[in-house]
Amino acid sequence: MAMLTTSPEITKKHMITTPNECAPTFTLQGLETQVSSKQDMVRTGKYLSPNTTDVYNSWIVVADGHGVGNIIDKFKKADWNAIMESENTMALIYKMVGSLKNSICDGTTLSVVKITPEGIKCWWIGDSQIRIFRDKKEYWKSNNHNSQNNKEMERIRKTNIKTEGSWTLCVLDEECLSMRRSHYFHHNIDGGIEKLAMTRALGHNNGVYPFVESQFITFEKDKKYSWKIIVASDGLWDVIGEEDTLLLASPKTTAKYLTDLALNRWMQEWIYVEPFNTLPLSTIKKDKMRMKEKIQGCGDDIGIAVWSDFA
């Protein structure tokens, strides 16, 4: 049974408390659906920008834990309001991870976003991806730290890390599912081998290249663009295809809608298409001999946050 929870409410300190204060010109939503290991985490919030009385910064944190679970549990108990208001956000996060003396077989992905009047600051590690849309079109997305990332694969080849061939899900459309080539990485952690589908992650005694990437997207103040940000764990992205881009970019597509969509796709029956198939999908769908089948397992945890400034 899936368990749906909302991201914890922001504290009164961060909420509008008097009629004289202007409402923020954005929407911010966060949802978790704990389907399997219960290690996804979503936190969202807002706070007054420095030296202002009516301008708010907002923030998003999405993490997807794996392994033992001590790191994600520590994240879930953290004071994210204080961490995100700090100018040393990532330093505080690294300190929190480092406070666990032994994190063998324990790690997490992490995506952090701060939205200020100047623009959007992003940090990420692992495969909890950030996607940014401008005027209902995809504008930028973070590059996952896995075998689909050519720069990461080049870095891996220069190390002694061994790889193991694998497969990962590939959604072709709302009815058809295939698989694409992937890899596991054999990370050497304190003399032992931990096999992960990611080239970077937090935890694991800092043995899995624990360095975040970052990006800053500037708001062009002389142009009136509409922006939307979706930050989510692979529980969403694994069941989203290229044809879903317009849906993702739509102002009407909320965190709740995406959570329900992902959960339904994990549970639905699919037409399986072989990876090297050359037939059009329309032809495959007309083949009455093809049986539909469910994805093996009970699905994945889903963590999603959405920010937008659509009027």
Tell me the one-letter amino acid at 25.
T
Q: What is the pLDDT of residues 262-299, one digit of tens each?
A: 999 999 999 999 999 999 999 999 998 899 999 988 89
At residue 16 the predicted structure's pLDDT band, cuts being 50, 70 and 90, is: very low
Identify the pLDDT of residue 222.
84
Task: Provide the pLDDT for residue 311.
Answer: 61
pLDDT band at 189 (very low <50, low <70, confident <90, very high): very high
- Taking domain 3-308, whether its CATH number is 3.60.40.10 is answered by yes
Averaged pLDDT, 159-167: 95
Written as six digits, the tokens of 305 are 């946050």
pLDDT of 4 higher than 80: no
Distance CA 131, CA 228 (A): 8
pLDDT in tens, 200-255: 999 999 999 999 999 999 998 888 899 999 999 999 999 999 999 999 999 999 99
Q: Which long-range contacts (CB under 8 A, 24 or more apart) does 184-191 make?
A: 185/156, 185/161, 186/161, 186/162, 187/161, 188/160, 188/161, 189/104, 190/104
| Averaged pLDDT of the chain | 91
CB atoms inside a 10 Å sphere around CB 291? 8
pLDDT at 2 over 80: no
Out of 2-6, 80-84, 171-175, least confident range: 2-6
For position 24, what pLDDT does the model report? Answer: 53
Sequence length of the chain is: 311
Looking at per-residue confidence, does 24 or 74 come out higher? 74
pLDDT at position 173 is: 96
User: Is residue 306 predicted with pLDDT exceeding 60?
Assistant: yes
Single out the residue of 60, 225, 76 nearest to residue 131, CA to CA. Answer: 60
**Considering the chain, what percentage of its residues have pLDDT values greater than 70?**
92
- Residue with the bigger pLDDT between 54 and 177: it is 177
| Neighbour-count burial of 199, counting CB atoms closer than 10 A to its CB (0-12 exposed, 13-18 middle, 19+ buried) | buried
Annotated domain spans of the chain: 3-308
Q: What is the DSSP letter of 248?
A: H
